[in-house]
Amino acid sequence: MDESKARQSIYAMADLVTPMSIRVAATLNLVERAGNAGATAEQLAAETGTSAPALRSLLDHLVSVGVFDLGDGRYRPTNLGAQMREDAPLGIKPLLDINCAGGRADLAFVELLETVTTGAPGYVRRYGRDFWTDLDANPELRRSFDTQMNWRYQVQAPQIAERFDWSRFPDILDVGGGEGTLLEAILQAHPTVRGRVLDLSPATTAAAERFTAAGLDDRAGTIPGSFFHPLPTGADAYVLSDILHNWDDDHVREILSGCREAAAPNGTVVVIEAIRDRGTSTAMDLFMLMCFGGRERTVDELTSQAGECGLMLRGSGQVSDERTALEFAPTRHSPV
Ligand SMILES: C[S@@+](CC[C@H](N)C(=O)[O-])C[C@H]1O[C@@H](n2cnc3c(N)ncnc32)[C@H](O)[C@@H]1O
């Protein structure tokens, strides 16, 4: 590549103008508002309460990158732009909309230098509180996060339910089980199994509604609470699905120790994660670090951390296109 092309390429990779323009357009619902008939900048500005000249600049840039077409003074979304619609099958909108949890979290990447310098989450620096506290304080954000979590598991939850033999565990506690997407899939696939979701209260309320709607009230329940407090004992399996990568090593050990304490002596701890070096993206790893101080981990790293908490690896296998299940049994002696 010659020098001028290389310069253009690196700048195209680093450019913030287009990413921010797309995110602002998604936040203002410009694609939905313009529709197939298109709309003028003045109409869109009036509908969104924005400045018409400023919105025209934004739209003109989006025309230049192929997100909108312009004809007869009206802006119309292209096929590319149509991907930003709320109902587009790829569900990208909540990741772009600044008022949704995903889009809001991405904006904290402006604090990446702080994260790289100190290792601390940029999210806290930008918003003044950690991600979960922020969601707790804002029910709309929480709802958008849970919707995103459901969407990301719509294909994988049934795979995880079917590719792992859950019928060995008559009573499951899904620790940090969110709105119950995974537990519902497991209970639907295994009629002899019952289970409960333990999560922060807005998520458990939504999980309870989900279980009722699915006719699972006789086998499914919810426990509002924190996994940093002692967990109910006596379940056959304690499931941690996409939990550990949200946390730094100290918190991971705290969560695993809590599960071990509740599971011992005969229960099992099942960790479901995307595994580093098995197709996880470097971008997701960096996101976990910037947003939570967490990271993607290898099987060896997870096994070693679990070992420090008195958990021994009993088996592992891929359970969905992107997730691996690691099954841990409590060792006979408590860790010192
Ligand atoms: C990435 S989501 C995964 C949700 C679910 N396990 C799944 O795989 O769809 C992480 C979950 O951890 C929950 N969580 C965060 N902090 C928690 C805490 N201290 N106690 C219980 N749940 C917590 C969040 O509310 C969220 O539902």
Of all protein residues, the one whose alpha carbon is nearest to atom 4 of ligand 1 is: 178
Return the residue whose CA atom lies nearest to atom 19 of ligand 1.
Answer: 226
Token look-up 């519902």 returns 184
The pLDDT value given to residue 320: 94
Query: In this structure, what DSSP letter does residue 35 have?
Result: T
Q: How far is the CA of 176 from the centre of ligand 1 (A)?
A: 4
The mean pLDDT value for 193-197 works out to 98
For 325, the enclosing helix (H) or strand (E) is strand 324-330
In angstroms, the CA 51 to CA 273 distance is 45
Phi and psi (nearest 5°) for 72? 55, 35
Residue 333 has pLDDT above 90, yes or no: no
Ligand 1, atom 10: nearest CA belongs to which residue? 243
**Residue 262's pLDDT band (cuts 50, 70, 90):** very high
pTM attached to this predicted model:
0.94
Chain centroid to Cα 9, Å, comes to 30
Is the distance from CB of 219 to CB of 170 less than 8 angstroms?
no
* Model pLDDT, residue 278: 86
Which two structure tokens, joined as six digits, stand for 241? 């699905």
pLDDT digits (tens, 9 = 90+) for 219-244: 999 999 999 999 999 999 999 999 99
Q: List the domains of the chain with CATH numbers.
A: 3-82 (1.10.10.10), 95-149 (1.10.287.1350), 155-330 (3.40.50.150)
71-98 mean pLDDT: 91
Q: How many Å is the maximal CA-CA distance in the chain?
A: 76
Least confident of 29-43, 80-94, 96-110, 216-230: 80-94
Q: Which residues of 93-128 are buried (b: 16+ CB within 10 A; e: fewer)?
A: bbbbbeebbbbbbbebbebeebbeeeeebbbbebbe
Structure tokens at 96: 């772009």
Whose structure tokens read 């099958």? 89
pLDDT tier for residue 128 given thresholds of 50, 70 and 90: very high
User: Mean pLDDT over residues 308-328, rounded?
Assistant: 96
pLDDT recorded at residue 332: 79
Residue 320: CB partners within 8 Å, gap ≥ 6?
A: 155, 156, 159, 160, 163
The predicted-structure confidence for 165-183, as pLDDT tens digits, reads as follows 999 999 999 999 999 999 9
Q: In the prediction, which pLDDT does 88 show?
A: 83
What is the model's pLDDT at position 99?
96
* Confidence grade of residue 91 (pLDDT, cut at 50, 70, 90): confident
Contacts of 87 (CB under 8 A, 6+ apart): none
Query: Nearest-CA neighbor of 206 among 176, 242, 180?
Result: 180
Give me the pLDDT at residue 87, please: 86
Report how far ligand 1's centroid is from the alpha carbon of 208 (Å): 15
Mean pLDDT of the chain: 95
Ligand 1 atom closest to Cα of residue 226: 20
Residue of 61, 190, 229, 245 marked active site: 245
pLDDT at 336: 58
Residues with CB under 6 A from ligand 1: 132, 149, 153, 176-178, 181-182, 199-200, 203, 226-228, 241-243, 246
C-alpha separations of 272 from 157, 182, 240 in Å: 11, 11, 6
**245 among known catalytic residues:** yes
Percent of the chain past pLDDT 90, that is, above it, reads 89
Lowest-confidence region among 82-86, 109-113, 161-165, 306-310: 82-86
What are the E-state strand segments in 103-193?
171-175
Contacts of 41 (CB under 8 A, 6+ apart): 52, 53, 55, 56, 59, 75
